[in-house]
Every structure is written in structure tokens, then in C-alpha cells.
């Protein structure tokens, strides 16, 4: 599968991440923190832009200092925010406190009254979808109204404009009213999309049985998706298409933290598809980007540039499946 270009519209959140500093510090022992852009959709946008693509975000941020921090960070990374709307009242930006450590890693997420859930159908109807080559949606945007209905409306509008729909499952249980609701909504979204990317736990959740995750990914392709990537952590990934499956391994790295891998994988994957890489090479590019990000501090600032990723790939041998 290839994309016709590298102009991406991304639906989902932008927030603030705090990292206890220096790396390795436990949150409860920290006296200094490093702040950077957060939120899976914003992070994917950073990954795409750093690899030479174009990314615009559709979301809402809180009309306060934290929301303005997110806007300033989007500007700094070159992510378009013409469709990012500030909202007042009690809405607050997503905030994550994330440790740069592997052993006993702790991440604390604040999502009460999340501003990004305030995105409406009017927000997505204001977009000219003909300016883009693909729509990317992260699953968190589906967890509450009105953003859930807005996302499904965006699917309709993007499809009418001929855009492929790319879905990052991105399941966060704390955002949902119940697991049953989440499984139902995710399955509806997955059935509409051309590309579905998730890990084994997320696909298993969609299937209602963690042992049936791979079968669920295969079912989605059998029902019309053009591509599903079933990620298995250290065991690599299975990429499923209507004509066959590709199994790939992961690049070994000295990881500092477990976070950011999924966002960087998506950025590397879609950038590869937009550049016309063979599917296996696009998946391996995503895997390489993920390996680089977990070995660095932060998520958005850790995303590799085109030159950094190319250097990494030239120095590595393509990993074999586990």
C-alpha cells in the first residue's frame, strides 16, 4: 500500500508532558521536571514533520496557560493548528507525568474534563479535506462525546474526499465509561478504516478476547481494510494485507523508557508509505523510529529527523522476527 503524498490531517489531542529530571528519577523524589509537547496525535504530527512531511491537527485545547503552551509547541515543531480551537470553562488540557526509566516505570495521566473531548462536528466540517493525502485518527478521541461523533463525521468527510483513513487504536482504559462501550466503538471505527495499527493487547481488546487479537486484525483486513499492523512488543509485528502477511522484528536499543514507541512507529510507517517504500521497509522504518525514541528523553523532542533515521537504518541490519 502507498499513499499519494505526505500531507496528513490528524485528529486527536495535544497536551503537556512532564518528565522528572534528571533521567532515572522517580516522580515522588523529583524536584525538577522537563516539560514538552504531549498527546499521541500531536506526537505523531511531530514524527511526520521531522521526517519531512506536513501535518495539521484538529482538536481543542484549554483556553489557559497550559493550552497556550501546547499551541506554542505545535508552532515550534511546525504542525498546522488552524483547526485547533481553545475552549474555556472547566475544560483542561491533558497532562502526563512520565518517568524516564524502565524498571518500575510510572506514568500518571490527568484526563478529567479533557479539553480535546470538546471537539465538535462543526470543527471537523470546517476542514477542507482535499488539501490532504490521508486522515489519521487516534482512538482516544472516540472515548467521549462530542468528539466521538465529530470523529465519525470526519471519517465520512475524508472518505468523500477520497482520503484513506488511518486508525491508531491507542486504547486508554481510563478515558472510557466501560470496556464494553470501548470495544463496540473501536470495532465500528476499525471497520471503516483502511489502515489499523495497534498492539496485541489493543487488538485483543477489540476482539473481546485477548487470545483472538491476531484473528481480529485478520478479520478487519478480510472485511475491507487494506492493511493492519499487529504489534507484539519485543516479538516484532505482523503486517496483514489482502494478499498476505509480513512478519518483522524490532531493532535492539538501550531503552530509557517504554513510552513514545507507538507514536513514533506510526510516524515512521506513514512517512514510509507516503515516500513509496515497499511495505516491509515502511514497517521497518516505523520500528527503527520507535527504537530511537525509547532510547531518548521525552516523546515529541525524541522523534528522529530524516537524517537521524536514515543514519540509524544504514548502521543496522534489518531485524529478524523473534
Inform me whether the pLDDT recorded for 295 exceeds 80: yes
- Reported as half-sphere exposure (CB side, CA atoms, 13 A), residue 308 has a value of 17
Q: How many helices (H) and strands (E) does the chain have?
A: 10, 13
What pLDDT is attached to residue 1? 78
* Domain boundaries of the chain, sorted by first residue: 7-14+40-90+115-315
- Reported as half-sphere exposure (CB side, CA atoms, 13 A), residue 71 has a value of 17
Instruction: Output the average pLDDT for the chain.
Output: 96
In Å, the largest CA–CA distance within the chain is 54
Inform me whether the pLDDT recorded for 84 exceeds 90: yes
Neighbours of 252 (CB within 10 A): 10
What is the per-residue pLDDT across 85-102, written as a single tens digit (0 to 9) for each?
Answer: 999 999 999 999 999 999
What pLDDT is attached to residue 175? 87
Q: For residue 50, what are the contacts with CB-CB under 8 A and spacing of at least 6?
A: 77, 267, 303, 304, 305, 306
Helices 40-50 and 65-77 sit at what angle, rounded to 10 degrees?
Answer: 20
What is the per-residue pLDDT across 211-261, written as a single tens digit (0 to 9) for each?
Answer: 999 999 999 999 999 999 999 999 999 999 999 999 999 999 999 999 999
Q: Per-residue confidence at 50, pLDDT binned at 50, 70, 90?
A: very high
**Cβ burial 13-32 (10 Å sphere, 16+ → b, else e):** bbbbbbbbeeeebebeebee
Q: What angle do CA 147, 121, 155 make, to 5 degrees?
A: 80
E strand residue ranges, the chain: 7-11, 15-21, 32-38, 54-62, 80-87, 95-98, 107-110, 134-138, 165-168, 195-199, 227-231, 237-241, 244-248
Q: Which CATH number fits domain 7-14+40-90+115-315: 3.40.1190.20, 3.40.50.2300, 3.40.50.1820, 3.40.50.11540?
A: 3.40.1190.20
Q: Per-residue confidence at 179, pLDDT binned at 50, 70, 90?
A: confident
Pairing status of strand 227-231 against strand 54-62: unpaired
Helices 179-192 and 147-160 sit at what angle, rounded to 10 degrees?
Answer: 10
- Report yes or no: 272 and 285 within 8 Å, Cβ to Cβ: yes
Inform me whether the pLDDT recorded for 322 exceeds 80: no
Q: Which of 298, 305, 312, 237 lies closest to 43 in space, CA to CA?
A: 298
pTM of this prediction?
0.97
Helices (H), 104-167: 121-125, 147-160
Inform me whether the pLDDT recorded for 130 exceeds 80: yes
- Report yes or no: 147 and 117 within 8 Å, Cβ to Cβ: yes
What is the per-residue pLDDT across 5-41, written as a single tens digit (0 to 9) for each?
Answer: 999 999 999 999 999 999 999 999 999 999 999 999 9
Amino acid at each position: 500500500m502507498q499513499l499519494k503524498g505526505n500531507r496528513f490531517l490528524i485528529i486527536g489531542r495535544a497536551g503537556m508532558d512532564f518528565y522528572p529530571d534528571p533521567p532515572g528519577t522517580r516522580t515522588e523524589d523529583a524536584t525538577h521536571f522537563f516539560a514538552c509537547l504531549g498527546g499521541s496525535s500531536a506526537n505523531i504530527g511531530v514524527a511526520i514533520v521531522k521526517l519531512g512531511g506536513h501535518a495539521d491537527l484538529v482538536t481543542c485545547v484549554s483556553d489557559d496557560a497550559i493550552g497556550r503552551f501546547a499551541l506554542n509547541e505545535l508552532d515550534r515543531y511546525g504542525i498546522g493548528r488552524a483547526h485547533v480551537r481553545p475552549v474555556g470553562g472547566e475544560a483542561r488540557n491533558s497532562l502526563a507525568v512520565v518517568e524516564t526509566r524502565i524498571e518500575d516505570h510510572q506514568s500518571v495521566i490527568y484526563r478529567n474534563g479533557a479539553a480535546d473531548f470538546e471537539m465538535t462536528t462543526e470543527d471537523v466540517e470546517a476542514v477542507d479535506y482535499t488539501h490532504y493525502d490521508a486522515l489519521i485518527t487516534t482512538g482516544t478521541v472516540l472515548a467521549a462525546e462530542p468528539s466521538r461523533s465529530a470523529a465519525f463525521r470526519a471519517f465520512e468527510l475524508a472518505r468523500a474526499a477520497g482520503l484513506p483513513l488511518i486508525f491508531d487504536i491507542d486504547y486508554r482504559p481510563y478515558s472510557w465509561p466501560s470496556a464494553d462501550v470501548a470495544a463496540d466503538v473501536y470495532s465500528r471505527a476499525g471497520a471503516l478504516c483502511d489502515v489499523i495499527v495497534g498492539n496485541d493487547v489493543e487488538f485483543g481488546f477489540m476482539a473481546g478476547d485477548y487470545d483472538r487479537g491476531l484473528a481480529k486484525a485478520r478479520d478487519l483486513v478480510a472485511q475491507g481494510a487494506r492493511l493492519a499492523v499487529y504489534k507484539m512488543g519485543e516479538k516484532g509485528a505482523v503486517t496483514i494485507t489482502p494478499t498476505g502477511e509480513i512478519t518483522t522484528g524490532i531493532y535492539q536499543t538501550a531503552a530509557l523508557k517504554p513510552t513514545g514507541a507507538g507514536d513514533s512507529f506510526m510516524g515512521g510507517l506513514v512517512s514510509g508509505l507516503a515516500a513509496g517504500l515497499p511495505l516491509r521497509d515502511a514497517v521497518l522504518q516505523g520500528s527503527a523510529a520507535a527504537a530511537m525514541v525509547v532510547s531518548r528523553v521525552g516523546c515529541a523532542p525524541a522523534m528522529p529527523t530524516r537524517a537521524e533515521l536514515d543514519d540509524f537504518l544504514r548502521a543496522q541490519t534489518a531485524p529478524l522476527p523473534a
